[in-house]
Amino acid sequence: MIKMTRVDHRLLHGQVAFTWIKFTGSDCILIANDAVARDELRMAALRLAKPEGAKLVIKSVADSAKAINSGVTDRYNLFVITENIHDACRLAKATDAITQVNVGGVKAEEGKRKISDAVYVSDDEANELRELAAQGRQVFSQMTPNDQPHDIIELLG
């Protein structure tokens, strides 16, 4: 069962590894990202950040969708992390199992506008998020479990 799907450009770090994993009761972390799945150094660094007692799986977006759709992940309380909005949207479109997306951290880059303290989006990303919301998926921004969630569509204006 997917407990949460989160966009966070930092992927697996203290806030995710300890706060969110504990809050959601997750026992398995799935990082869905094509570049990371091909990068042995990044995978090794992420394995070091893995919280004790949780399984860590790193797959491409397509392979993540296949795993979720096959049911192999059903035995876990799964916390899914993508590095960017595009990957989260690709994954959500490939599986009905993702009913919500927490946009937790998207770094500032040229061509992006700030919609919250830690979320910057391009026009294309804003359109992808709107499309997910139009499909009936809950799309929100929430940095930590103690923070109030904010509807992304409202933040986009």
pLDDT at residue 111 is higher than 80: yes
Q: 99 with 108: CB under 8 angstroms? A: no
pLDDT at residue 98 is higher than 90: yes
Nearest to 80 by CA among 65, 93, 72, 71: 65
* Per-residue DSSP letter, 149: P
Please give the model's pTM, rounded to 2 decimal places: 0.95
Q: What pLDDT score was predicted for residue 138? A: 97
Predicted confidence band of residue 149 (pLDDT cuts 50, 70, 90) = very high
pLDDT tens digits along 44-95: 999 998 998 999 999 999 999 999 999 999 999 999 999 999 999 999 999 9
Q: What is the mean pLDDT of the chain?
A: 95
- The domain tally of the chain equals 1
Contacts of 150 (CB under 8 A, 6+ apart): 116, 140, 141, 142
- We report the CATH number of the domain holding residue 135 as 3.40.35.10
Residue 143 Cα distances to 28, 34, 69, angstroms: 20, 24, 28
How big is the CA angle at 28 (ends 76 and 84), to the nearest 5 degrees?
120
Nearest to 84 by CA among 111, 121, 56, 38: 121
pLDDT at residue 110 is higher than 90: yes
Q: What pLDDT score was predicted for residue 15? A: 76
- What domain range includes position 38? 2-156
Nearest to 144 by CA among 106, 88, 104: 104
For residue 154, what is the enclosing H or E element? helix 152-156
Q: What pLDDT score was predicted for residue 82? A: 98
Q: What are the residue ranges of helices labelled H in 6-135?
A: 14, 21-24, 34-37, 40-49, 61-70, 85-94, 123-134
pLDDT tens digits along 12-23: 988 777 899 999
